[in-house]
Structure 1
Amino acid sequence: MKLSKIVIAAAVVAAGASSITTSAFAQAKEQFFPLLSYRTGPYAPNGVPWANGKQDYIKMINARDGGINGVKLTFEECETGYATDRGVECYERLKSRPGVSLFDPQATGITFALTEKAPVDKIPLMTLGYGLSVAQDGQAFKWNFPFMGSYWTGADILIQHLGKANGGLDKLKGKKIALVYHDSPFGKEPIPVLQERAKMHGFELQMLPVTAPGVEQKATWLQVRQSRPDYVLLWGWGVMNSTALKEAQATGYPRDKMYGVWWAGAEPDVRDVGEGAKGYNALALNGYGTQSKVIQDILKHVHDKGQGTGPKDEVGSVLYTRGVIIQMLAVEAVRRAQERFGKGKVMTGEQVRWGMENLALDQKKLDALGFKDVMRPLSTSCADHMGSTWARVHTWDGKKWNFSSDWYQADEQILKPMVKAGADKYLADKKMTRRDAADCQS
């Protein structure tokens, strides 16, 4: 058992013992965040900084602010290894904890499994930049929140960028674009949008699945070598990403013609390849670095006090910062819920769900929270559970990532009808109806 889990377990035992002699009120003043993670297995290099960012933000809010309006934040981490069955086990074990707020499954497969359970248990799911793309439609998916983007918005933005690089989307006609993807719900999710864009613009889409976890790709890159696509889109995660870049180097495929999703565009993906990955591009959902106020506060209140979850030199990295953003949005959802249901009170899952659906983080608010240049403004509603559909491209120069494009917004004219059609099909299959105005106020 990891030290952090021993400490947490001891704290839980202590809290249980103290509840015998202290009031139930004291115990009730804790908002609990279950943290699903994967620190082991082939996805650990990417899962670890993500998980560390979330923990450090919770620690910082407790140390700097005393929690949320006096409500202390607690957490327990549960190891999934990125496996769906283990993710469901973690969910079942942690869902009944007092003060449970929301779940961030950290995996599309786990999200698919929990989408059926969340409405029954009345606990919302946050899936920032992953999960079920059609869940953007909050009138169909009351309990799912794919904040900041989905694989549909990511795929759309990549095609926009390639169009711009070629002098217009019409210039993509006749070109060949290969999708090298993780053969899982995660990897398959962007396919409908890419197929739609291929029909619109006349490019050929070549689909090349990679068996999970992605350590063996020689056959895939032999196909790439034979077909010589104009571009390769990499929809990978964990060890699959660095393996793909090494195989591209070995087969002579130019890295500057490769574009990854935002889960294939962090330091662990390119660090071992170094100069061999030079020119490789990927989507970026968020800013990074140590210059932002929120990262400075984490260093001051957590790491400088010897309370950091992981190594200090990872603080501010791409995925670490994404973990910080996720936990900030969770905290702000609780804070927003308190505004309606009682300041300084512990919120239920239903109340936190309302907070997630009524977030309004404009630039002024983000600046005040310390997130200037870290993320775009986000505003959710009953109809829109995503809140923001922006991303940009960054490029690896052999040593570090550098932003190489302006921000793009996903094309709603293309995606909105697709989201509605997908949501309507889901509702029909489940014999459910859309939420009405009264339900949107609940």
Structure 2
Amino acid sequence: MTTLIRNVQRAVLAASAAAALMAPAATALAQTNEQFVALPSYRVGPYGANGQSWYGGFVDYLNYVNLKDGGVNGVKLSWEECETEYNNAKGVECYERLKAKNATTKGTAYHSMSTGISYALVDKTAADKVPLVMMGYGRTDAVDGSVFPYAFPLVTTYQMQVSAIVKYLATKNGGSLAGKKIVYLYHDSAYGKEPIVALQAEARLGKFNLVEIPVAHPGNEQGAQWLKIRQENPDYVIFWGWGVMNQTALKAAQKVGFPRDKMIGSWWAGSEEDTVPAGEAAKGYMSATWNVAGRGVPLIADIDKVVYGPGKGNMQDKNKVGSVLYNRGVSAAVVTVEAVRVAQEKFGKGKPMSGDQMRWAFENLNLTNARLQQLGATGLLPEIKTSCENHEGSGKVKIQQWDGTKWVVVSDWIEGNKNLIHPLFKATAAQYAKEKGITPGCMKS
């Protein structure tokens, strides 16, 4: 037995030595003429099913650009994933590991798909001069690029999203929610807490009664919360769930007899991963979204052909291609690659772009409907036009409803109340700048 243990130890040491010898070669490879994209992803844990679809779509699009176009102006895209398990500390560890993989790009742009990880990285990415991209999540006050030059809460922030949801509910009630009661049922984390200040402001303005009810991570225990909801008997439930919390809530709502068509979730509580497992309990439930589901989008159909045709797809379950979260991952990759293209137009075609050059690109995006149509991506996301003063670029959502088998869009684009929301995050951005000793100002090109 002792001899066996020694042999195993020698084998482990030999493997470690071999890995150490190979590490410089791997790093050198990443420093060739490639645009290396870091992916601090999660595909395991309580939110793993959501991460599998989102990152699967993201990786498939990068692969698609390489296969179809040979990269961006001849620069191939490369990437590496690091499993965070949706854990803040592991997210930081992955960031530190991945940024060293390529001295030029430093990872191009970081999509952590976690508000908590984003909060942990916002200072680090600024110090390292590489973009932190928070598409539909993260710090709302990072919209102010004069304070957060390297952070980009693109498309729509949580505060603008919840404002748009309130606007939608008001249209269902003759334009006013005065006297109504709304429960805000939320994931007790940075993600769930981020919209509260905006929702409280909407309640004061709209004169409706707001009841806030948190749910502890991961959210598979909600008996007490739904008992309180039954006692409160609200007109609507605005739901900020994630992962297993979502299907649990839908089943609990059915159990206590709360109508699902009076329940409207955030875009992270509006995917097939949430509704299919809930079965009949999900029918009629609504959520916000910025992207459509389905393979009817020309780009999604072409990815299916170009990437999955030769068997190079990232998704183990190909049936998820075209799902809400898969298409959302594709949309995030589209924005990232378009930013690489914009950077190359200014700093040199056919060259890998640095983190600082990518920051400029994300701050000067002008992704029009005409360009989205060229990409075959119409409907995947709204138009995005950014500036130093506006790192969000849109502020619009649509509302979708689950008909029992699929998501159906039931509204046009809805924009949150900018006059109400923007002063809120500008105030917190100013406070952040004061605490950190930052002098707000737009960076030069």
Q: TM-score range by the shorter chain?
A: over 0.9
| Residue in structure 1 matched with residue 15 of structure 2 by the alignment | none
| Residue in structure 2 matched with residue 418 of structure 1 by the alignment | 424
Q: Are residue 96 (structure 1) and residue 96 (structure 2) matched?
A: no
Q: Are residue 428 (structure 1) and residue 437 (structure 2) matched?
A: no
Give the Cα–Cα distance (whole angstroms) in 2 for the partners of residues 321 and 156 of structure 1: 24
Give the Cα–Cα distance (whole angstroms) in 1 for the partners of residues 417 and 257 of structure 2: 34
The alignment of Structure 1 onto Structure 2 pairs a total of residues equal to 423
Aligned with residue 50 of structure 1, among 46, 50, 54: 54
Q: Which amino acid aligns with 1:60?
A: Y
Give the Cα–Cα distance (whole angstroms) in 2 for the partners of residues 157 and 201 of structure 1: 13
Q: Does the 8 Å contact 2:328/2:380 carry over to 1? A: no
Q: Are residue 160 (structure 1) and residue 164 (structure 2) matched?
A: no
Deviation of 1:183 (Å): 0.3
TM-score calculated relative to the size of structure 1: 0.93
Q: How does 1:83-162 map to 2 (within 5 A)?
A: 83-98=87-102, 99=105, 100-162=107-169
Give the Cα–Cα distance (whole angstroms) in 2 for the partners of residues 406 and 428 of structure 1: 39
| Residue in structure 2 matched with residue 76 of structure 1 by the alignment | 80
Give the Cα–Cα distance (whole angstroms) in 1 for the partners of residues 343 and 128 of structure 2: 18
Q: Which amino acid aligns with 1:131?
A: G
Give the Cα–Cα distance (whole angstroms) in 1 for the partners of residues 229 and 32 of structure 2: 57
Give the Cα–Cα distance (whole angstroms) in 2 for the partners of residues 386 and 68 of structure 1: 24
Give the Cα–Cα distance (whole angstroms) in 2 for the partners of residues 227 and 270 of structure 1: 25
2:35 is paired with a residue of what secondary structure? Answer: strand
TM-score calculated relative to the size of structure 2: 0.92
| Residue in structure 1 matched with residue 70 of structure 2 by the alignment | 66
Q: Does the 8 Å contact 2:239/2:269 carry over to 1? A: yes
Aligned with residue 268 of structure 1, among 270, 273, 277: 273
Give the Cα–Cα distance (whole angstroms) in 1 for the partners of residues 53 and 108 of structure 2: 22
1:346 is paired with a residue of what secondary structure? Answer: coil
Query: Cα–Cα, structure 1 residues 291 and 13, in superposed 2: closer, same or farther, change >3 Å?
Result: farther
Q: Mean Cα displacement is larger for which, 187-196 or 270-279?
A: 270-279
Deviation of 1:18 (Å): 11
Could you tell me which runs of 5 or more consecutive residues in structure 2 were left unpaired when the two chains were aligned. 1-17
Q: Mean Cα displacement is larger for which, 57-66 or 373-382?
A: 373-382
Deviation of 1:84 (Å): 0.3
Deviation of 1:408 (Å): 0.4
Deviation of 1:90 (Å): 0.3
Q: Are residue 406 (structure 1) and residue 415 (structure 2) matched?
A: no
| Residue in structure 2 matched with residue 222 of structure 1 by the alignment | 227
Q: Does the 8 Å contact 2:343/2:360 carry over to 1? A: yes
Q: Does the 8 Å contact 2:27/2:101 carry over to 1? A: no
1:302 is paired with a residue of what secondary structure? Answer: helix
Q: Are residue 239 (structure 1) and residue 244 (structure 2) matched?
A: yes
Q: Which amino acid aligns with 1:77?
A: E
Give the Cα–Cα distance (whole angstroms) in 1 for the partners of residues 56 and 274 of structure 2: 17
| Residue in structure 2 matched with residue 297 of structure 1 by the alignment | 302
| Residue in structure 2 matched with residue 393 of structure 1 by the alignment | 399
Deviation of 1:418 (Å): 1.3
Cα distance per residue 1:58-103 (max 9 Å; x no partner) = 1100000101111111111111111101100100111122132111
| Residue in structure 1 matched with residue 7 of structure 2 by the alignment | none
Deviation of 1:134 (Å): 0.8
| Residue in structure 1 matched with residue 9 of structure 2 by the alignment | none
| Residue in structure 1 matched with residue 332 of structure 2 by the alignment | 326
Give the root-mean-square deviation of aligned CA atoms: 1.8
Aligned with residue 174 of structure 1, among 173, 176, 179: 179
| Residue in structure 2 matched with residue 351 of structure 1 by the alignment | 357
